[in-house]
Amino acid sequence: MHVEISVWVPLELAGRFRLSTASPELWCQDMHWTDRIGRRLNPRDLHIFMVAVERGNMARAAEALAISRPVVSRTIADLEQSLGVRLLDRNPQGIEPTLFGRALLKRSIAVFDELRQGIKDIEFLSDPNSGEVGIGCTEPMAAGFVAAIIDRLSEQYPQFVFQLELCTTPAQQLHVLRERKCDLVISRRWTHAVEPDMEVEILFDDQVCVVAGEGNKWLGHDRVALSDLLDEHWLLAPVDNEPGSPVFEIFRAIGAAVPRARVLSYSLNVRNSLLASGRFLAIVPNSVLQFGIGHLLLNVLPCELPPSVQPVAVTTRRDRMLSPAARLFIECAREVAGTLPKIKSNGARKPRAKT
């Protein structure tokens, strides 16, 4: 039989005691949390600990925090005493987190991130124009599709702040999300696999085309075979040589290796400047021509490419609550994606992932 025993306690102690004959250990657990952690662990101490780890040195941490070195040392020591474990290893070169320290650091980053998100939510509720959103994307995506979203959303919310983090590879895109540097990532997806800690929503299907600047010798042709262009002056991104990338797969489909690039660069400005000379070729997504200024600078060659449908998706962390501004950005992304002409899929794409 389960019996609950109610005990009156002063208001200031409410929440500290929950007695039950079925589980008397609950009282001890609550006291353990309140006395050992709840009253001794505070955001200031965690902040000092995080800065100390980041700087790798007590003195540099003290300088960054504008406090004395003994205060930093004492705070870390108090944390270690409260938790009952060593958080930092000291050596002549400085400090580094122990296994326990890394665990606390990971959770501390999450705590401060959620607090920061909470403040953003409050600011947005007070003034919807005060929203801020961090977006990870490649430079071509930033110049095309993402720029179109920002343009549309900023008309309605002129005080919105958009912070872009350029990520050139899928690994970098996942990194900025896991490190909470961005609220979301807009990118073309190379694979159908979804990381367990990520949510993925396909926005639209993109394709690529071969482009050249005015005066290129291939512009006068009615039809061009991709195999005829293998020895041309190609402008490529370093990632184009990696299996799974759209460019790599296109050339593999015709039984050829990726051409030797005359210029390897992620820079959109470099690409556009050199293409304007008329001597270079590049492969770019259709969305860049649709939304960016590429249609004013570039000409699409009449070159039929192997099936190259690439889904463009928005990716977010599963365990991170999106701010109102980030949710509005995603809603606007869906609207902008809806203005694109539909592309017939080659059947390789999986159904849309649940958001």
User: In the sheet where 299-300 sits, what is the strand order?
Assistant: 263-264, 233-236, 280-285, 208-212, 299-300
Q: Work out the pLDDT band at 320, boundaries 50, 70, 90.
A: confident
Q: For residue range 83-142, list pLDDT tens digits in order.
A: 888 999 888 888 889 998 888 888 887 777 777 777 777 777 777 777 889 999 998 899
DSSP-assigned letters across all residues of 243-300: TTSHHHHHHHHTT-PPPPPSEE---HHHHHHHHTTTSEEEEEEHHHHHHSSHHHH-EE
- SS3 label, residue 8: coil
Q: For residues 157 and 329, what is the distance between their CA atoms, to the nearest angstrom?
A: 11
Cα–Cα distances (Å) from 327 to 62, 184, 231, 331, in that order, read: 38, 10, 46, 6
State phi, psi for 161 to the nearest 5 degrees: -115, 130
DSSP at 56: T
**Taking a C-beta distance cutoff of 8 angstroms, is the pair 135, 183 a contact?**
yes
Examine the pLDDT at 22 and tell me if it is beyond 50: no
Neighbours of 346 (CB within 10 A): 12
Kindly indicate the confidence band of residue 272, based on its pLDDT and cuts at 50, 70 and 90. confident
Is residue 280 within 8 Å of residue 255, measured between CB atoms? no
Q: Look up residue 156 and give its two tokens.
A: 């309605």
pTM here is 0.66
Residue 346's alpha-carbon distances to 135, 205, 255, 306, 308, in angstroms, are 29, 10, 19, 10, 8
- pLDDT score of 17 more than 70: no
* 27-41, 85-99, 290-304 — most confident range: 85-99
Residue 354 pLDDT > 70: no
List Cβ<8 Å contacts ≥24 apart for 104-108.
104/46, 104/49, 104/79, 105/49, 105/50, 105/53, 108/46, 108/49, 108/50
CA distance 70 to 6: 46
Q: How far apart are CA 34 and CA 327, in angstroms?
A: 36
Quote the tokens at residue 181: 């540097």
What percentage of the chain carries pLDDT values higher than 70? Answer: 83
Q: What is the DSSP string of 75-106?
A: HHHHHHHHHTS--EEEETTEEEE-HHHHHHHH
Q: d(Cα 229, Cα 307) in Å, to the nearest integer?
A: 18
Q: What confidence tier does 308 reach under pLDDT thresholds 50, 70, 90?
A: confident
What digits encode the pLDDT tens for the residues 145-202?
999 999 999 999 998 999 999 998 889 999 999 988 899 999 988 777 889 999 999 9
Q: What pLDDT band is residue 343 in, cutting at 50, 70 and 90?
A: low
For the chain, give the percent of residues with pLDDT over 90: 37
Asked if residue 239 lies in contact with residue 168, where contact means CB atoms within 8 angstroms, the answer is yes
Report yes or no: 284 and 242 within 8 Å, Cβ to Cβ. Answer: no
